[in-house]
Structure 1
Amino acid sequence: MIAALIGYEQEQKKANDGSYFIPNEKTQEVFHKIIEKCEELNQGRFEPKRHHGVLSVALGKDDNSGSVRAIGTYSTIQEVFGRPDRKQSISSGVYSEAAVQQMLENCRQNTIMEVEAKMNPKIETMDQQLKFLMKNIPGTHLFSGGVSAGTPLSDPLPTRSNCHSVDTYPITTIQSPKMCLLAVCPNGTPIVVAKGMAHPSTDETMVNHQPLLPNCVKVSVDEVIKGREQFNLPLPDQQYVTIADIVDSFAQWPMHLVSLEESLSKQNKKPKDQSVDLSTTGARAPIVGDDVLPHLGEHCKCLVDLLIGFPLGKDCIELELDKAIFHHQNTRSIFVMMNDITDLMMMNWLNVSIIQVFVLFLNQLCNQYEVRSIGFVCPTQISHTMLKSNFRKVISYFVHVMEQHKDKNFILAQYHQDSHWLLLVICIRSKSICILDPLPSNRDIGLIKGSMNLAFRSVPTGARVKKINWKPCKCPRQPRGHECGYYVMRYMYDIVTKYSSVDNLDGAFESDSPYSIHDINELREHWSKFFLF
């Protein structure tokens, strides 16, 4: 409206002699009265008042607060300034119809270019995946003759006979995660590059926010065969490139390059005597020996006894991963392997699934005793491996967790690096992070420090964060090299049960002496009881 008014004024306000020209007669009368009253005001013959000023006298009406004065009942811009030419210049602030059409066309072209720039990489990736599948999907299973991990297959893969044309890959029939070997086929010859877990897959399965491709399966990579780290993934991925990039992460893998370890063991076994009594094959052997069982607590023994009756074909137990506790949906479940439970009972090194289940127990404990000052993170989302593969994703995860727990005293972050567990306690109010390390060393934790420092500075706290204070805290130290997981669980248990109301953990742990065997057994009892009930 203002631009239009200026356009009208610039085109109509001057007559041929250069003087201002107003075509409307009533407006001219008001204009002359205004000039007259201004001269009287300058000569001291007119004294304006609040509701009786120059404009109100010129209009012939007293001014009232909140009123807008104009000439006539239906005065419009055209009545006051006249009708302008339809052709209006851009320099006057009014764009012509042709100029507007040109701007719309430019906007359309820019939008097309932006969309193409974003979509082309994704389209190229999908095209590469399609070409790979069309070229490499064979008509046979992998490793039909058996092969050890890391060994190239020199013999060509045999083809199936017509009578077996309807059989399926064993990987398509699994109902729970299974240990497997993963191979790539760079020169037409499969080479085993990693060990991991194959997960049940359906048409609705998503992997890293992407739909599962045809004839592929969802896998997680646990261990890379030495010397195979730099092999490229069998399928192009927008986030990862090499085998080393996806350790502790999920990926899509062609079915014919995945072999279940139990299938290999069956293929490599020699025929057994058929006269063996098959009545004994339905029972699972105890997960611990008779030398360990007497030293376990009541709930641990109960768990061991119950697992004897667990189906032989099932190697893991699935628990729901609560988004409200772990703050992500990269996977919906926690898969606790039988070997993980065995390690817990045998006091071996602990896998991440044991730590995750214990976090679920601690959250239940917090709810039971109305502890509202403590939050948790998911160890799979902040591990050293995850930091190396997707640093930005870890920062975003920390920012999300800190925003969710900004009113908490402590956020407990279980961090894994180089086969070692330690606990990082995030204190948002004091802008500090306490390091509880059961085996202090000159370990370089620069990556996790950098991600958490950046996350701190990205979370609104009402004040500018100048420096994050990283504080190594006195805490009990492990006596040997494999108890770190138990000590991290005990640190968390003590913080929840003893120190949830303190402002900081400086001096909370009075001694660095090792925990007693009773302290560790108490943890295992809590874990087993929660897992059972």
Structure 2
Amino acid sequence: MTPEAEDMRKKASESASQNQHHHHMGHRNYEDSRAIWIDEGFYPNACTDSSSIGSSSTQFNRGDDWYCAMHARDKEGNRVIPDKCTQEVAEKYVEYKNKQNLGEFVPQRNRDALYYARGEKADHSGRAIGYGGINVGYSKAFGKRTCGSQYSDCSSQNIESMKSSIREQLREEMNETMKLNMIQILNEMGITGFNFSSGASISTPTTSTNHAPHPFPSDEAQGPRVCRLFLNDLGTEQLVEVGGGTAFPSIPGVMCHHLPIMEGHLKVSLDTILDEHVSAPLPVPVPSVNLFTLGDAQGTFVQWPLVWVKFISEATSFKSSKGKKKMDVHKKPAKQRSLVSEQVLLSLSRDCKWMHSILASRSSDGPIVVTLDARMFHYESDDGNAYLTTEDISQFLSGAMLNIAIIQVFVIAMQDYLQGLDTHARLGWMCPDSICATTCQNNPEDVKVYIHRAITESRNTGIDILVAPYYEAYHWVLLVVWISRGIIFMYDSLRTSPMRRLLIMPLFSSVFRNICGGGQVKKITWKQMKCAKQTGGLECGFYIMRFMFDVVKSIAEGHDLDQVYTSNVRDDALSMAEIGEIRDMWAIFVSDNFL
């Protein structure tokens, strides 16, 4: 070996010794290893493109590559991270990725999930005098280039003036870009001739002296309230009345088209629209269900800025800005409405059609309020409420993603079913709203207190099994806790390998160490059930409802969870009959008890 090669090898060895985390790809590079990870279903971002059947698209990023590369195979062939320090970084990375999926963390330039997981470092991006924006070059931002010294005598006043100018230019260009994008979307929908200078034009809602927010009435804070809806006219900076609806108070866990309610917004049913504003864009469009204009969203739910909502004490008529027509907010339809499309309605079973008929003939559009028993769900004091909205039930009948209220009601139905059987078997239940990923992220200590209370109360009443529906990252899984054995069975219809790491896992572990270990650390064993595997992307809610029913039925027949774990093994999807049985059970329970 030549002296030059020896010197190069020495430098490479010294550089490698500085690595804190070592990959386990062997001789393969990332591209070759990534193909193996995807083929084995291990790569985190591998997903199927719903736009075309049978096609798949995978998003690659350095964080997911790093996460996979840190895993090695143990003696049993399972993927593990052998280094404890690397394991801690990997767990932090997963936490930041979950925050990113929930919209609570937005990567900026090189500061992605992996950057923060490894620990925030000093910024070595150089002496940057600014960062460009949309179509902003050097000359546009800072003027003509000069050869002067870097030690400029530019005053702070000139710098602030420069910043203000840049901000104004960026604002104008971004507004123009947003207008062009919205016009393109409306043109694709067949809506032409739309004028953004009219009352249909909107801007970002802000709280100001001219547009003061209307707080939700305290006397109606527990129920819906009739309201008038406004949009902001960019031309005059005045609020323009566009229609009327019913606003619902902010309740933890309530979602709108599977999206959490944004801060400063309310969930509103859009009941009526003034004629001249039918084509106005929504304040919060929902591209996933093709809701872009007010006309698209009439009769369904939307998110509306609180500062653009005015509450009224009783039903009233709205007069258009041009005085053309009056429209009653609570005008009774001439014929019975339908909550679902005609095609879906024809496909429903007799029991589901009966429930639909009762709901469609209701005079009120308000939610169905279901009482959640504090003892059953282990609440601290008072009973809770679940609000079944028309949107929730429409999504249930259409086979879409299920909201938390649907699952809460099914839990009550399962307890009622168990009590009606000739059995001494008993099960405990946990509220999905109290343990969902959003609650774990925002209030982990509250979740630990709730888990502690649920386990303690169950043990005190002789209950050894807790059933816990859990929602994280737009996916439902079912957790079955065997308290005395320290085992948690996870029913995940995605059947990922390795088993999904959930935000609630360390919270369960912490509670078990405190109350189940007899003074010593007791480790929880997580077991992934070989349960039915879903083939689509939205039916996970129906799957965990079926899993709940199967667990209740097996326990009632005298089987323990070990027998359930070994006997209920399957690799196929649920049949339409299996899902249909669950849908009918839910529909009958709601029709008999709440309608």
Give the TM-score normalised by structure 2: 0.48
- Contact in 2 for aligned 1:300/1:525 (Cα 8 Å): yes
Aligned-partner SS, 1:311: coil
Alignment correspondent of 1:324 = 375
Distance in 1 (alpha carbons) for counterparts of 2:402 and 2:439: 18
> Take 2:555 and 2:252, find their aligned partners in 1: how far apart are those partners?
40
Deviation at 1:429, TM superposition (A): 1.9
- Superposed displacement of residue 456, structure 1: 1.4
One-letter amino acid of the structure 2 residue matched with residue 453 of structure 1? S
Q: SS of 2:343's equivalent?
A: coil
Return the alpha-carbon distance in structure 2 between the equivalents of residues 330 and 224 of structure 1.
29
Counterpart residue number, 1:508: 567
> Matched residues in 1 for 2:408 and 2:586: separation?
11
Distance 1:479 1:169 in 2: 42
Tell me what 2:444 maps to.
391
Corresponding residue for residue 16 of structure 1: none
Contact 2:254/2:404, CA 8 A, preserved across alignment: no
1:293 counterpart (331, 335, 345): 345
Listed one character per residue, the Cα deviations across residues 278-327 of structure 1 (whole Å, up to 9, x for unaligned) are: 98636551112321223212221111111122124x33111111112111
- For residues 392 and 506 of structure 2, the distance between their equivalents in structure 1, rounded to whole angstroms, comes to 31
Q: Render the CA deviation track for 1:233-286: whole Å, top value 9, x for unaligned.
A: 9xxxxxxxxxxxxxxxxxxxx9867557999x968898665799x986365511
AA matched with 2:488: I
**Against the structure 1 CA distance between its residues 287 and 255, is the aligned structure 2 distance closer, same or farther, given a 3 Å change threshold?**
closer
Aligned pairs for 1:23-422 within 5 A: 151-153=204-206, 157=210, 176-177=223-224, 222=255, 281=333, 284-312=336-364, 314-328=365-379, 329=381, 332-369=384-421, 370-406=423-459, 407-422=462-477
2-structure distance, mates of 1:393, 1:168: 27
| Residue equivalent to 2:171 | none
1:499/1:508 contact within 8 Å kept: no
Instruction: Please state how far the C-alpha of 1:178 moved relative to its aligned partner.
Output: 5.9
| RMSD (Å), alpha carbons | 4.8
Q: Which residue of 1 aligns with 2:583?
A: 524
1:220 positional shift: 7.3
Question: Partner letter of residue 545 of structure 2?
Answer: M
- Contact in 2 for aligned 1:377/1:413 (Cα 8 Å): yes
Match of 1:452 among 486, 489, 508: 508
**1:405 offset after TM fit, Å?**
1.6
Shift of 1:491: 0.2
Structure index of larger Rg: 1
Task: Provide the C-alpha distance between the structure 2 equivalents of 1:378 and 1:503, rounded to a whole number of angstroms.
Answer: 23
CA distance, structure 2, for counterparts of residue 449 and residue 168 of structure 1: 38
Residue matched to 1:481: 537
Percent identity, aligned pairs only, is 27
- For 2:340 and 2:505, the matched residues in 1 are separated by 39
**2: CA distance between counterparts of 1:476 and 1:432?**
21
Q: Distance in 2 between matches of 1:374 and 1:414?
A: 14
Q: Is the 8 A contact 1:489 1:523 kept in 2?
A: yes
- Count of matched residue positions in the alignment of Structure 1 and Structure 2: 335
Note if contact 1:438-1:478 (Cα within 8 Å) is conserved in structure 2: yes
Deviation at 1:351, TM superposition (A): 0.5
Q: Give the secondary-structure state (helix, strand or coil) at the position aligned to 1:423.
A: strand
Return the letter of the residue paired with 2:480: V
Judge conservation of contact 1:283–1:309 (CA < 8 Å) in 2: no
Q: CA deviation at 1:502?
A: 2.5
Q: Does the CA contact (< 8 Å) of 1:476 and 1:509 recur in 2?
A: no
Q: Structure 1 residues 220 and 465, CA, compared in 2 at 3 Å: closer, same or farther?
A: closer
Equivalent in the alignment of 2:156: none
- Counterpart CA distance in 1 for 2:257 and 2:396 is 24
Q: Which residue identity lines up with residue 413 of structure 1 in the other structure?
A: A
Shift of 1:465: 4.5
| C-alpha separation in 2, matches of 1:460 and 1:392 | 18
Secondary structure of the residue that 2:566 maps to in structure 1? Answer: coil
TM-score (norm 1): 0.53
SS in 2 for 1:485: helix
CA distance in 2 between counterparts of 1:275 and 1:149 reads 23
C-alpha distance in structure 2 between counterparts of 1:179 and 1:394, whole Å: 34
Matched letter for residue 485 of structure 1: G
Question: SS state of the match for residue 467, structure 2?
Answer: strand
Residues 480-517 of structure 1 show CA distances to partners (whole Å, capped at 9, x for unaligned) of: 00000000000000011124432323223221211110
Distance 1:168 1:457 in 2: 44
Match of 1:33 in 2: none
Change over 3 Å in CA distance of 1:342–1:428 after alignment to 2: same
2: distance between equivalents of 1:359 and 1:493? 9
Greater CA deviation, 294-303 or 454-463?
A: 454-463
Change (3 A) 1:422 1:219: closer
Residues 316-351 of structure 1: CA distance to partner in whole angstroms, max 9, x if unpaired? 111111112111157631100011001111001100
Aligned-partner Cα distance in 2 for 1:388–1:302: 40
Question: In 2 relative to 1, CA 403–306 (structure 1 residues): closer, same or farther, beyond 3 Å?
Answer: same
Q: Distance in 1 between matches of 2:238 and 2:322?
A: 25
Assess, with a 3 A threshold, how the Cα gap between structure 1 residues 289 and 182 changes in structure 2: closer, same or farther: closer
Change (3 A) 1:180 1:392: farther
Distance in 2 separating the partners of 1:219 and 1:376: 19
Q: Could you tell me which amino acid in structure 2 is paired with residue 507 of structure 1?
A: T
Contact 2:428–2:465 (8 Å) recurs in 1 = yes
The 8 Å contact of residues 531 and 569 in structure 2, kept in 1 or not, is answered as yes
Gaps of 5+ in 1: 1-144, 160-166, 184-188, 192-196, 201-216, 234-253
Instruction: Give the superposition deviation at 1:532.
Output: 1.1
- In structure 2, list runs of 5 or more residues that go unmatched: 1-197, 231-236, 240-245, 266-304
Report Cα offsets for 1:452-487 as digits up to 9, x if no partner. 111112225657453111111100011100000000
CA contact (8 A) 2:355 2:591 kept: yes
Q: Give the residue type in structure 2 aligned to 1:502.
A: H
Which deviates further from its counterpart, 367-376 or 431-440?
367-376
Aligned CA distance change for structure 1 residues 301 and 432 (closer, same or farther; 3 Å): same
Pairwise CA distance, 1:447: 2.4
Say whether the 8 Å CA contact 2:319–2:327 is kept in structure 1.
Answer: no
Helix, strand or coil for the counterpart of 2:342? coil
Distance 1:225 1:485, change over 3 A: closer
- In structure 2, what is the Cα distance between the partners aligned to 1:357 and 1:513? 27
AA aligned opposite 2:568: F
Paired residue secondary structure (1:523): helix
Q: Which amino acid aligns with 2:566?
A: G
Distance 1:526 1:223, change over 3 A: closer
Checking the alignment, whether the CA contact within 8 Å between 1:198 and 1:219 is kept in structure 2 is: no
